[in-house]
Amino acid sequence: MKRVSEFVASRLIAGVLIVTPIYLAVLLLLKAMKSLTIVVRPLLKLLPESLHAEQALSLTVVLIACFLIGLMVRTRPGQRVWERIERALFQRIPGYEIFRSFTRRLAGQTQDEAWTPAMAEIQDGLVPAFIIEELEGGLVTIFVPSAPTPFAGDIYVLSRDRVYPLDVPFTQAIKAVSRWGSGSKYLVAAMKRRKAE
């Protein structure tokens, strides 16, 4: 019974972690569109009567604003402003750093140590894992995801000699987990190559 409850709880948490950001993003988008209807009403008077679509015009304005913000953040001054906002606000939210590192890894935008694919020796076997942090004294914090949901799992602190960083794309490691281990042969091959070096 305990295994069933753990199974249900871990899958529920994984689903919440996936659905919540999408739900919040949609809510924010709808709220922004609703707020912009006041702004777009005068513009609608310029359009033919048959094209009166407040929501479509509001959505277009929101998407243009998102594009311009994304464009601005790609500049040096915009990057500096974003980093200040991030330090002052977002980094105070628990788990933000790890989530940001995870999403950057998923998008292929970072090469920092957090979320480095690895194989770890746990009990008598090897498990796909991700290195989260290097600790003093030769220890490593790893995250071992649950199959098939890579967003839920267990955290271990192991000695460095039991963790093998892999030279594989982050997405390949995620795929192996989400496919119940199918594709792990590439992870094991990468581990053997690393050991041979």
Q: Which domains does the chain have, with CATH numbers?
A: 2-92 (no CATH), 116-196 (2.30.30)
Angle at 160 between CA 157 and CA 122, to 5 degrees: 60
pLDDT given at position 193: 78
Closest C-alpha to 111, from 165, 151, 170, 193: 170
Q: Cβ(28)–Cβ(69) under 8 Å? A: no
In this prediction the pTM is 0.51
Residue found under tokens 């994304």: 70
Angle at 97 between CA 133 and CA 173, to 5 degrees: 60
Please, what is the angle between helix 76-88 and helix 54-73, to 10°? 100
User: Can you read off the two tokens belonging to residue 65?
Assistant: 């604003």
pLDDT given at position 174: 79
**Rounded-to-integer distance, Cα 8 and Cα 194, Å:** 37
**Rounded-to-integer distance, Cα 6 and Cα 9, Å:** 5
Q: What is the pLDDT along the chain (197 residues), one digit of tens a residue?
A: 667 766 666 666 666 666 666 677 777 777 877 777 777 777 666 666 655 576 777 777 878 887 888 788 788 888 888 788 777 777 677 666 666 666 666 555 555 566 788 889 998 888 888 888 888 888 999 988 888 777 778 889 999 989 988 888 877 787 888 888 788 888 887 777 777 66
pLDDT given at position 158: 92
pLDDT given at position 157: 93
pLDDT given at position 51: 56
